[in-house]
Amino acid sequence: MIRIPKRLMRLIFGGIAAALLLLLFFFLICPLANDGAAKRNLRKVEALPLPEGAEKLESYSASGHLLGRGNGMQYLGLILLRSAQSEEELKLYYAALSKTGEQYNVAAQTGRELAILPGRKHHFKTDISGGDCYIVYLWGGRNGIFEALDPR
C-alpha cells in the first residue's frame, strides 16, 4: 500500500476545494452579477419621469447574448408604456432626458412579443392593441470580469 504524506493530501484536497469554488463562482456568481447590471439599467429607465398622460404598464430586464452570438454581453432594461403621443414625440422627449454616455431609446410595441428582441422568449402580459404602446429602453455597458466569465 502506498502511503501519501499528510501535507500532500492537504494540497490535493485544497486544490479540489479551490476548483469547486471556482466552478461555483463561474456558474452562479457571474450570471447573478450580470443580471444585476441589467436591473440597474431597468432602475434608470424606471426613474425617468413619464410624459404627460402616459401610463407605465410593465417592466423587463435581461442580460446575455441578446443580439446574436458574439463575445459580448448586453444588459437591457425597459418599460412598456401606453401613450397618446407619437413615437417621434416620445423619442424627442426621452432624447432630452438622455445623459452623456446613456441613450434612452423608444420603439413602437405592436404585439406581445418583445419587438426589439425577435425570437427572445419574453412576452408581455398586457394586452397590446390600439397602436399606442411603446417601449423605452436602455442598453447597458460593460460589467468587468463578470461579462467575460458568464457561461450563457
**Does residue 86 have a pLDDT over 70?**
yes
> Which stretch of DSSP H or E encloses residue 18?
helix 6-24
pLDDT of 20 > 80? The answer is yes
Strands 105-108 and 133-139, by their bridges, are antiparallel
- pLDDT digit string (tens) for 89-127? 999 999 998 877 788 999 999 888 887 877 667 788 888
Residue ranges covered by each domain of the chain? 6-149
Average pLDDT, whole number, for the chain?
A: 85
In this model, does residue 57 exceed pLDDT 90?
A: yes
Q: Given a cut of 90, is residue 134 above it in pLDDT? A: yes
pLDDT the model gives residue 108: 93
Predicted local distance difference test score (pLDDT) of residue 143: 59
Residue found by looking up cell 442580460 in the block: 63
Predicted TM-score (pTM) of this structure = 0.77
Which SS3 state, helix, strand or coil, does residue 45 take? helix
Task: Tell me if 150 sits within 8 A of 34, measured CB to CB.
Answer: yes
Check pLDDT > 70 for residue 147.
no
- Confidence at residue 37, expressed as pLDDT on a 0 to 100 scale: 86
**φ, ψ for residue 56 (rounded to 5)?**
-80, 130
Q: Which residues contact 134 (CB under 8 A, 6 or more apart)?
A: 80, 81, 82, 83, 87, 90, 106, 107, 108, 109
Residue 54: half-sphere exposure toward Cβ, Cα within 13 Å: 25
